[in-house]
Structure 1
């Protein structure tokens, strides 16, 4: 299940060797922080530390900022007022300072230049930092800007700084421990994204006491962040039989959905399709379809696939193969493997919709490309492609 706006912020740092699950979690956290960016800024006291010795062998301006033709667009999307020329100048100064023998003094001068160029705007420094981490080949300058904002006491910058340290140290001594201590201080200040982060960590430890603490943190974070309400739904739904609370899961998924978290509708659809949260404990396919349809219209790919399946089977809605193909087409356009497989099969067989061998083969080939090397979907798609090829060969033989 995906969360919308899942950022590339920390996925780009995954080469550090951190587990894929941890990196995915970190990526989601950027979305959490974004939702809280309009809250009243919180300040923290973070001791200013000298810059570390950055790895400079491959440190080039062309790697630490986007290509010139893309830089202006990236800055516009980041909603910052700094010009491309100003950022390029900071990048050249950063590279030169990092390579200098007296690099710590030079980087301290660079820090002051950053504050001057941004007119002391810590939110803009932070937005620029995350833009660079998202879009640049080398993330070092983005990390350095996070450090500048964090050590000026800006909570969102400190949050990013801590999360990045948890994935890649950039030669900061005891980097992961420092990141953890920053998160804890931010939690004490009521910083919602940090509450979310700590809650996620506690839930991964899988104990009743940790789950209770996590739920308390999520309830606080949910005041500012609808996605925390979604995670609360997960926490209640996925508990053991003794800890699970289906009614609470429905409540929080509904809260998240109404606040704009499309995955809340998807989760509710899944629950209703399994008889969870229904009045009689039996699957309610009509209610499930309604939830999936809302999520599908809002772009959730899993829901687009499910709506197509419900239309094809007539589950909770009148059977309509053409609408099934339409919704599967939405999911297939996003290269969703199971949608590619089933839509390709639908067109290749021509039983429910007009037969279109060319379109069917095209979709099945993409399904093979998108699937894992030994996956079921790849195997099924290849079997169908082989069958189509054999049928066409047989047809050619008959004609001859």
Structure 2
């Protein structure tokens, strides 16, 4: 057997073990998942270190062990696992279980972004906009947000929408900002729902409609948006009782579009301040 063929077979076996490990994880069989993921990691599948780390971080199948999780993230990041780079980068950014280090955080998060990871793209984009760990670069930051938004990363779509509407760090484009808000709202995202309610209040790219605003603030409140209750109350004071009932009926029958869920294991925390 040639060295090249052996390498290919080993990589295939590692990928198979990784997929089987993730299937076991999805089924809640944590001991089997950990065993298969450990084999995949030993075979060189860098992402397996990330998933093992997340299991330890979240206490899946046993007690949480964050120090060991960090070491696994470091192993994964050294093997160019974009998932590991993103998680480890956030830890350096926050200074949790590692020394706070903005430059190292930016290196890891933007490395993850360049590999196409949507969470990494969002986080790298935020760092470029904030100038944390890297030179402030509004154009580069917006480009990263757009890359993540193109993958329908809801957080990136919301951040990008606000940037486009404000027109401070990106060229003003209210129509595109509204489109992104409508998209995230259609998924049932509380930020998107709240922002769409605001759009109806002021008539941003839409006819001003307080009944629709009440509906979306109601939906945002039901999904946990912290400012939606007060916003709904303010709008309600401007409506007739029959209009309030109309808005409530509309909220009651509203249904979100199906969206492919992102695993909690993928560490979707953001680099927002």
Please give the TM-score of this superposition, normalised by the length of structure 2. 0.67
Of the three residues 307, 320, 327, the one matched with 2:216 is 327
In structure 2, C-alpha distance between the alignment counterparts of 1:337 and 1:304, rounded to whole Å: 12
In structure 1, C-alpha distance between the alignment counterparts of 2:206 and 2:133, rounded to whole Å: 32
Unaligned 5+ runs, structure 2: 1-10, 253-273
Of the three residues 18, 24, 29, the one matched with 1:128 is 24
* Alpha-carbon contact 2:190-2:223 (below 8 Å) kept: yes
Describe the superposition over 1:118-177 as per-residue Cα deviations: whole angstroms up to 9, x where unpaired.
xx8552233222442xxxxxxxx62x23431233134444322223334549469xx544
Matches within 5 A, 1:66-81: none
Matches within 5 A, 1:57-96: none
CA displacement at 1:257 relative to structure 2: 0.5
Of the three residues 185, 198, 213, the one matched with 1:309 is 198
CA displacement at 1:193 relative to structure 2: 0.9
Matched, 1:197 2:87: yes
Q: Relative to structure 1, is the Cα distance of residues 41 and 165 closer, same or farther in structure 2, using a 3 angstrom cutoff?
A: farther
Matches within 5 A, 1:184-333: 184-205=74-95, 210-222=101-113, 223-239=115-131, 243-279=135-171, 285=174, 288-333=177-222
* Alpha-carbon contact 2:53-2:72 (below 8 Å) kept: yes
Describe the superposition over 1:347-390 as per-residue Cα deviations: whole angstroms up to 9, x where unpaired.
46525972549969xx9xxxxxxxxxxxxxxxxxxxxxxxxxxx
Q: Relative to structure 1, is the Cα distance of residues 359 and 347 closer, same or farther in structure 2, using a 3 angstrom cutoff?
A: farther
In structure 1, C-alpha distance between the alignment counterparts of 2:126 and 2:107, rounded to whole Å: 14
In structure 2, C-alpha distance between the alignment counterparts of 1:198 and 1:158, rounded to whole Å: 12
Describe the superposition over 1:79-106 as per-residue Cα deviations: whole angstroms up to 9, x where unpaired.
xxxxxxxxxxxxxxxxxxxxxxxxxxxx
CA displacement at 1:302 relative to structure 2: 0.8
Matched, 1:153 2:40: yes
Q: Relative to structure 1, is the Cα distance of residues 352 and 250 closer, same or farther in structure 2, using a 3 angstrom cutoff?
A: farther
In structure 1, C-alpha distance between the alignment counterparts of 2:39 and 2:238, rounded to whole Å: 64
Q: Relative to structure 1, is the Cα distance of residues 286 and 353 closer, same or farther in structure 2, using a 3 angstrom cutoff?
A: farther
* Alpha-carbon contact 2:215-2:248 (below 8 Å) kept: no
* Alpha-carbon contact 1:347-1:353 (below 8 Å) kept: no
Q: Relative to structure 1, is the Cα distance of residues 166 and 301 closer, same or farther in structure 2, using a 3 angstrom cutoff?
A: closer
* Alpha-carbon contact 2:21-2:34 (below 8 Å) kept: no
* Alpha-carbon contact 1:246-1:276 (below 8 Å) kept: no
* Alpha-carbon contact 1:347-1:356 (below 8 Å) kept: no
* Alpha-carbon contact 2:18-2:36 (below 8 Å) kept: yes
In structure 2, C-alpha distance between the alignment counterparts of 1:233 and 1:211, rounded to whole Å: 14
Query: Matched residue of 2:199: which SS?
Result: helix
CA displacement at 1:201 relative to structure 2: 1.7
**How many residue pairs were aligned?**
231
Q: Which has the larger radius of gyration?
A: 1
Q: CA RMSD in A?
A: 3.8
Please give the TM-score of this superposition, normalised by the length of structure 1. 0.48
Q: Relative to structure 1, is the Cα distance of residues 196 and 264 closer, same or farther in structure 2, using a 3 angstrom cutoff?
A: same
In structure 1, C-alpha distance between the alignment counterparts of 2:166 and 2:219, rounded to whole Å: 25
In structure 2, C-alpha distance between the alignment counterparts of 1:213 and 1:323, rounded to whole Å: 45
* Alpha-carbon contact 2:109-2:121 (below 8 Å) kept: yes
CA displacement at 1:251 relative to structure 2: 0.9
Q: Relative to structure 1, is the Cα distance of residues 203 and 129 closer, same or farther in structure 2, using a 3 angstrom cutoff?
A: same
Describe the superposition over 1:163-213 as per-residue Cα deviations: whole angstroms up to 9, x where unpaired.
3334549469xx54433332222222212211112211222249xx93333
